[in-house]
Amino acid sequence: MASHAPQPLALPRRLLGATGMSVSCLGLGTVKIGRNEGVKYPAGFALPDDQQVRELLSLSRELGINLIDTAPAYGSSEERLGQLLTNRQDWVICSKAGEEFVDGKSFFNFSAAHVRRSIERSAQRLRTNYLDLVLVHSDGNDEDIILRTDCFEALTRCREEGLIRAFGMSTKTVAGGRLAVEGSDVVMVTYHPGATEDGEVIDLAYARGKGVLIKKALNSGHALSSGADPVKANMEFIFSKPGVNAIIVGTINPVHLRQNVEAAVAAAC
């Protein structure tokens, strides 16, 4: 008798530009495991407990996710991942530098000294001796950060020393995105049917062989209230764009995680 057991999902992996890293086309964003204050999601939420985080990480690996996104500005996210993430070698860990979140408020520091301290602290919190990818966590002044601070120089040195494998910027402007493509390995941009301005940044990155990660693919959860299947529609739209390597989606709901992976598999294959 033929088995009717569900077939395992085959989440595609793609090379992240010229970094040599192969990443699942869907990455797990982890702001929700460390911070529920001052976020822009449509509804409030409680932080998951350790067992819930363990189960979420285990399910992510089971579904084929190997890319995980965190940041110092995500509250306790880095520390919790350091405590609960197993098999470090199986994960591509992306963290950030430049933004800090303290006592309910963000502040920014893009100096070389701060960037290096931030990277060293992130590695310590994550219990690893290197970070796969570090993105500059922009305050919106992308061009000033790239052109008028020594942030990229510090990141280049950290890459040369093996503290990080690659670096880039999570941008907020098209002009900044174009500069980031020219001066780094990876760019993270906002792109979905309601925000297409960064399409030209993706085109440039594709032409230059640079990595592209997509943030806010579901408009920080607001897209979920529109259309019959906004997850499927948005992922199909994003993955139809040449040059996109992976979408980062944050969730602490196992059902939503599985649905996101199913939509990514259908859209990216």
pLDDT at residue number 229 = 82
Listed in sequence order, the residues at least 6 apart from 234 whose beta carbon sits closer than 8 Å to its beta carbon are 192, 193, 217, 218, 223
Predicted pLDDT at 36: 87
Tokens of 92: 């591509």
Tell whether the torsion through CA atoms of 34, 66, 186 and 244 is positive or negative: negative
**Three-state secondary structure string covering the chain:** CCCCCCCCCCCCEEECCCCCCEEECEEEECHHHCCCCCCCCCCCCCCCCHHHHHHHHHHHHHCCCCEEECCCCCCCHHHHHHHHCCCHHHCEEEEEECEEEECCEEEECCCHHHHHHHHHHHHHHCCCCCEEEEEEECCCCHHHHHHHCCHHHHHHHHHHCCCEEEEEEECCCHHHHHHHHHHCCEEEEECECCECCCHHHHHHHHHHCCEEEEECCCCCCHHHHCCCCHHHHHHHHHHCCCCCCEEEEECCCHHHHHHHHHHHHHHHC
Query: What are the average pLDDT values for consecutive 10-residue runs of the chain, which has 269 residues?
Result: 54 97 98 87 85 97 97 97 95 98 92 98 98 97 98 98 98 98 98 96 98 90 59 94 97 95 90
Predicted local distance difference test score (pLDDT) of residue 1? 43
> Tell me, which fold does domain 17-268 have in CATH?
TIM Barrel (3.20.20)
Q: Where are the domains of the chain?
A: 17-268
Residue 226: the pLDDT is 52
